[in-house]
Amino acid sequence: MSGLTKKQKNTLLRIVITFVLFAGLMVCEHLGVFGQLPVWLVIGIFVIPYLLIGYDIMIKAAKNIAHGQVFDENLLMLIATVAAFCIGEYSEAVAVMLFYQVGELFQSYAVGKARRSITDLMDIVPEYANLETGDGLEQTDPDDVEIGSVIVIKAGERIPLDGVVIEGETMIDTAALTGESVPRRASVGDEVISGCINGSGTVKVRTTKAFEDSTVSRILELVENAGNKKARVENFITRFAKIYTPAVTICAVLLAVIPPLVTGGDWGEWIRRACCFLVISCPCALVISVPLGFFGGIGAASRSGILVKGGNYLEAVSNISTVVFDKTGTLTKGEFKVTRTEPTNCSREELMRYAAHAESFSDHPIALSVREAYTGTVDTSRVANAEELAGHGISADVDGKRVVVGNRAFMQKHGISAEDPSGGGTVIHTAADNKYLGTIIISDSIKPDTPEAIRRMKQAGIKHCVMLTGDREAEAKAVAEQLGLDGYYAQLLPADKVEKVEKLLKECPDGEKLAFVGDGINDAPVLARADIGIAMGSMGSDAAIEAADIVIMDDDLRKIPLVKRIAAKTMRIVRENIVFALAVKLAIMVLGAFGIADMWLAVFADVGVAVIAILNSMRTLAGSRERAEKDRDLRETD
């Protein structure tokens, strides 16, 4: 085993030494050497390897009893092995403790590996920031860098704070946050997020967030709190163990006492059966393997750039049947562009010239997209008396003509007749001196990976994909048809979205879950209301990420079916462990009570079952297969 801690190495050394001594003692016992020695000396010889391998179990049992935690596996092991010594089964006593420690070592290694799969994220914390000052560069703590400061990030350094590149160009390695192995280019004007590695060139970045609000800080907070939210199965196992352990202890005592009193049987035989019963009954396999399975699932997801805030959410994801999406910024890029023009009584150049100049004093996204689409130069000196009516349009004097640009209602208000064309997109009507010039259609383009993501969700067993949007009916319908969605709701206010989600929640069959996917501030109430809220972590708002249960760090919707696969695998392994452990233990407990199972079979029922369950749980850590499958799929579609 590579990567063992100092404590684990010490345990391994004790196991090896004890095994060598135990093997020698077994040979001597087989040759009849001990038959010639006094009993007290034989006991003393076997006590040596017993104490070497089991002293820490005895100390733990004593400490737990002192703290009021009487019934646990340490006490069960201690009682069973001491009783074995009392009835003359010295080698079995040593063997039980030896193989129990082997199981504990496997458990410790597995838990450590699962924990490392998550806490490796702690390495993304930057140790310093190169702050640009009047005297040059000053290496300072990222906590001390104020918003708006300029920092210099050299090749190979980790980005300490979120910000915007103001000088230079480089390739950014985002693997630690997003799970993507392919670096992305960042140049002037591009956003960069903390925790990533600057791969090639030196860049200057103007910070946009304080360290405590940065991406890396939010990630660490989510990771540290993930283990506190247990799944329903985990809570059940915890409650079950608290009842189960004292119950089997009482049963073992009754098994040792009642049969000899009632039937007059051999006390030694029934005590031996009770000892076997205790060893068999240890709930280690359940208590360790179930939380380990969830921990591994969360770790596998985090390596793929998916942050799950707790095992309860991972359990819920496996039962998702309906996914509801916000449109802008989630299914689409959130970038408005002119996609079509329909000039009337003028040329396209004239239509765009009047519209671009009229919109020159507005900072609305639609105004910006109109100006970007205009191929000429906007001269604001040609514009006067601009008046904007929020949400409707703008009017202004352009080259001495009164130009009106806006929606149909705005045109009608100015006495101009206009009709919206068919098809999707936001329609902008334009007129000059009451003469209608035509329409400009602006659309928010769909993300390239969205159609593939919807297809994979269907393959993953998600039955319904529904879109909620504030856009008009025609545009919503066009997007829904293009993506193959099962339904959509248009012209919704933020409060309307909550109402629609509540309606869809009521329509979900028992046991099935609804997830909402969004990225905006106005999505926070809906994210909190859904069974599972999924936020876009790269471009999503802080409010959305805070309200969500799962965060997709690179905004790739294809991660939703991936996390559902990870969750389904985790739940399958957890159920396998529960059924396997209970079935084997119950069967051998019955055999032990009837005297058929000996102490060696009891050891298998305890240590063997625990090791098998732990190894099975470690399969959830094998995120490499899901990750390889995901990377292969992405290459095929890109």
- What amino acid positions are annotated as catalytic residues? 326
Amino acid type, 20 = V
Amino acid type, 262 = V
Distance CA 459, CA 83 (A): 57
Helix/strand/coil for 154: coil
DSSP, res 504: H
Name 210's Cβ contacts closer than 8 Å, sequence gap at least 6.
145, 146, 147, 161
- Name the one residue in this structure whose structure tokens are 């995120």: 623
Distance CA 527, CA 521 (A): 10
Q: How many CB atoms lie within 10 A of CB 370?
A: 27
Helix/strand/coil for 140: strand
* Residues 279, 94 contacting (CB under 8 angstroms): no
DSSP 283-344: -HHHHHHHHHHHHHHHHHHHHTTEEE--HHHHHHHTTEEEEEEEIIIIIEEEEEEEEEEEES
Q: Rg (Cα) of the chain, in Å, rounded?
A: 34
Q: Which residues pair with 426 in a beta bridge?
A: 442
Q: Which residues pair with 153 in a beta bridge?
A: 203
136 φ/ψ sector (left φ>0, alpha ψ -120 to 50, else beta)? left
| Farthest-apart Cα atoms in the chain, separation | 122
Closest CA to 626 of 564, 571, 577: 564
Distance CA 159, CA 487 (A): 41
Order across the sheet with 320-326: list the strands: 306-308, 550-552, 532-536, 513-518, 320-326, 464-468, 487-489
Closest CA to 340 of 329, 352, 331, 328: 352
Distance CA 148, CA 142 (A): 13
Structure tokens at 267: 């006390």
Angle (deg, nearest 10), helices 73-86 and 39-66:
160
Distance CA 232, CA 86 (A): 42
Residue 386: in which H helix or E strand, if any? Answer: strand 383-389
DSSP, res 230: -
Backbone phi and psi for residue 243, each to the nearest 5 degrees, phi listed first: -90, -40
Kind of pairing, strands 464-468 and 487-489? parallel
Q: Which residues of 573-606 are buried (b: 16+ CB within 10 A; e: fewer)?
A: bbebbbebbbebbeebbebbbeeebebebbbbbb
Closest CA to 281 of 514, 101, 72: 72
* Residues 331, 323 contacting (CB under 8 angstroms): no
Strands (E), 94-154: 129-133, 136-140, 150-153
